[in-house]
Structure 1
Amino acid sequence: MGQTFRPRRSGKPAEKSQAELDEMVRRMRGEQSASGSYREQSLKIHGWICAKCGREFDLANLHLLTVHHRDGNHLNNPPDGSNWENLCVWCHDDEHSRGVLGDYLNDGESRRK
């Protein structure tokens, strides 16, 4: 019938040694545990409530509460929680889309002048 799309492969992917794979797994586990620890800290410090809309969370829906880094730097995780705010997924999405929308609108303004 119709043709199917199959991407071309430019060759065989480079195989990684066992040592490289072990290092990759160690690094990924370290990043995972580090990200989990600051989330747990933020939940303890700021509570199970969205800082923007005030929605309260419980164990059943706690996965919908995220940690937003105020300065945008995910590596800046002070133990006092001063760079974090707990936001529900909807408010977190809104927070990040506002910057994109603002940049888009400001770029349009500069073109009109």
Structure 2
Amino acid sequence: MSTPDHDRLDRIVAEARRARDEREQGYRERALKILPWICGRCAREFTRENLHQLTVHHRDHNHDNNPADGSNWELLCVYCHENEHARVIDSAGRGSAPDSVPPATHQPFADLRARLNGKD
């Protein structure tokens, strides 16, 4: 059995602590510290066990806008967050027909009455 490299272990622990400190400075960690762990839409409550399902939504959709007071953040569960972004895409007009497409002129049932009358 070999002896552990204490210097290497100390470097690993120091790096892990530094990474944790950097994460805590991120907007998600800051939002979780100042906002209640409740989805802003469906009011589902979260605990440490399921906290990974709680996301930070930027109200103005600008991920660089992270004021210290959290005024641009809203905590949403993953489902409500996905729904919110889908609504934004839908409201932008996705799926609407472009103006350059001519209207349909085909009338598939135009002679239906004549065909039905002809069978009598």
Q: Return the TM-score normalized by structure 2.
A: 0.58
1:46 to 18, 24, 35: 35
Q: How many residues align?
A: 82
1:62 alignment partner AA: L
In the other structure, the counterpart of 2:60 is 71
Alpha-carbon distance in 1 for matches of 2:81, 2:50: 15
Runs of 4+ with deviation above 3 angstroms:
33-36, 107-113
CA spacing shift, 1:48–1:101, aligned 2, 3 Å: same
In the other structure, the counterpart of 2:49 is 60
Higher radius of gyration, 1 or 2: 2
Alpha-carbon distance in 2 for matches of 1:94, 1:45: 24
CA spacing shift, 1:97–1:36, aligned 2, 3 Å: farther
What is the DSSP-based 3-state SS (H/G/I as helix, E as strand, rest coil) of the residue aligned with 1:108? coil
In the other structure, the counterpart of 2:77 is 88
CA spacing shift, 1:91–1:45, aligned 2, 3 Å: same
Q: Which has the higher helix share?
A: 1
Q: Which runs of 5+ in 1 are unaligned?
A: 1-29
Alpha-carbon distance in 1 for matches of 2:24, 2:33: 15
Superposition RMSD on alpha carbons, in Å?
2.6
Q: Relative contact order (C-alpha < 8 Å, sep 6+): which is higher?
A: 1
Alpha-carbon distance in 2 for matches of 1:69, 1:100: 15
